[in-house]
């Protein structure tokens, strides 16, 4: 039996192993692990976060590497580029119909299915714990933390509408469940992060 003193090491090793196992290259897969991560990111991110620099931060890679991954998806017709109307130097990427269809074959679905088999309370605790760990690690490393609106210190409501103080704009309902690069964990909240899916 593993000593409780070694439990944190074992949990950390299992998290790393699980991440590697789910991203292992499948010879039958049409995309690399990095390309799958990028496709998922653009599917989950809000409008202002679907940029090369935000993806580079999320993937913990260089802007150049992130751009190459995005270009490879663009060449395959899986994402399309839109130039910002506010800042013509800035671009946003959206999944094309072909890109959305590709996600039906996402190898991550195997793990999603296993997690879906957990009971609701266990899955909610798991998401809260992992979100808290991800935010704490980002803070220790002084890198951006990614999360959704409901656990963000910028989030508020005005009447019946959701509001982002960082963007000084109202939020559409579907935007509040998307990843945001402007996410700022609430001070003193160790359970912050992407918890909307648990509720």
Helix axes 120-141, 109-116, angle to 10 degrees: 130
pLDDT at residue 83 above 80? yes
pLDDT at residue 139 above 90? no
The model's pTM: 0.78
Polymer length in residues for the chain: 199
Per-residue confidence (pLDDT) for residue 194, from 0 to 100: 47
Q: How confident is the model at residue 4 (pLDDT cuts 50, 70, 90)?
A: low
CA 8 to chain centre: 24
Q: How confident is the model at residue 197 (pLDDT cuts 50, 70, 90)?
A: very low
Residue-averaged pLDDT of the chain: 83
Task: Determine how β-strand 169-171 pairs with β-strand 91-95.
Answer: unpaired
Report the SS3 class of residue 67: helix
pLDDT at residue 99 above 90? yes
* Count of helices and strands (H, E) across the chain: 7, 5
pLDDT at residue 192 above 50? no
pLDDT tens-digit map of 21-54: 887 666 567 899 899 999 999 999 988 889 999 9
Q: What distance in Å separates the CA atoms of residue 163 and residue 28, rounded to the nearest whole number? A: 44
pLDDT at residue 13 above 70? yes
Domains and CATH numbers, the chain: 29-106 (1.10.10.10), 118-198 (no CATH)
């Amino acid at each position: 039996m593993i000593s409780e003193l070694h439990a944190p090491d074992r949990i950390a090793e299992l998290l790393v192993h699980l991440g590697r196992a789910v991203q292992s290259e499948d010879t039958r897969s049409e995309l690399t692990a990095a390309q799958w991560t990028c496709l998922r990111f653009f599917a989950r991110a809000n409008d202002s976060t679907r940029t090369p620099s935000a993806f580079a931060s999320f993937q913990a890679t260089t802007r150049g590497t992130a751009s190459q991954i995005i270009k490879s998806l663009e060449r395959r017709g899986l994402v399309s580029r839109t130039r910002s109307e506010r800042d013509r130097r800035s671009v946003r990427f959206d999944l094309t119909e072909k890109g959305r269809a590709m996600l039906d074959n996402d190898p991550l679905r195997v793990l999603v299915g296993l997690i879906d088999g957990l009971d609701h309370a266990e899955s909610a605790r798991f998401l809260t714990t992992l979100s808290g760990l991800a935010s704490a690690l980002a803070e220790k490393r002084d890198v951006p933390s990614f999360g959704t609106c409901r656990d963000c210190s910028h989030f508020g409501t005005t009447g019946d509408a959701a509001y982002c103080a960082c963007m000084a704009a109202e939020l559409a309902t579907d935007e509040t469940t998307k990843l945001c690069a402007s996410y700022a964990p609430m001070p003193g909240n160790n359970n912050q992060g992407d918890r909307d899916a648990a509720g």
